[in-house]
Amino acid sequence: MKSPLPSDQQIDSFLRENPARASEHFDSRIEDWIDQLETQPAASARARRPRFRVIAALAGGIAAALIALLPIPSTTDRNPAASPALANANPTDSTPLDEELFALLDLVDAVDPAVFDEPDMTAFLAENS
């Protein structure tokens, strides 16, 4: 036979009971922790916060300096005439990448321009009609 279910009041009184007491291990751990806080006041959160702010400010400054040093392309880079520095630049100052690009351009220039001409379709149709 099934036993009757406990009432709400019985369940509540059961829940109010203390199911677990703090063990000696817990108490000694708490004691050690508070002892540590007493002997190391500098390690408290308040003491750590200003140091964190200084570190964060330094990191921010270094990041800003690095960004300022990065070569960011501007409109003057795309239009050399707009930049006196680039307009007067020595052509011999080219990089290996520039050399490759110039070599390709020379190759294109060397090809007979007639190769690129459109075939005369009128003559072709007249011949084959």
Amino acid at 65: A
C-alpha 117 chain-centroid distance: 49
SS3 39: helix
Q: CB nearer to another protein: give 45 or 111.
A: 45
Under the binding rule (CB under 8 A), the answer on residue 11 touching another protein is yes
Candidate segments 9-17, 66-74, 79-87, 114-122, binder of another protein by CB under 8 A: 9-17
Rounded to whole angstroms, the Cα distance separating 62 from 68 reads 10
**Is residue 128 at the binding interface for another protein, with CB under 8 A as the rule?**
no
Written as one letter, the residue type at 119 is P
* 59 backbone dihedrals φ, ψ, rounded to 5°: -60, -40
According to DSSP, residue 80 is labeled G
Residue 12 within binding range of another protein, rule CB under 8 A: yes
Nearest CB to another protein, comparing residues 31 and 100: 31
Decide if residue 22 touches another protein (CB under 8 A): yes
Between 44 and 94, CB nearer to another protein: 44
Cα 80 to chain centroid, rounded: 32
User: Smallest gap, in angstroms, from Cβ of residue 43 to another protein?
Assistant: 11
Kindly identify the residues of this chain, within the stretch 23-62, that bind another protein according to CB under 8 A.
Answer: 23, 25-26, 29-31, 33-35, 37-38, 41, 44-46
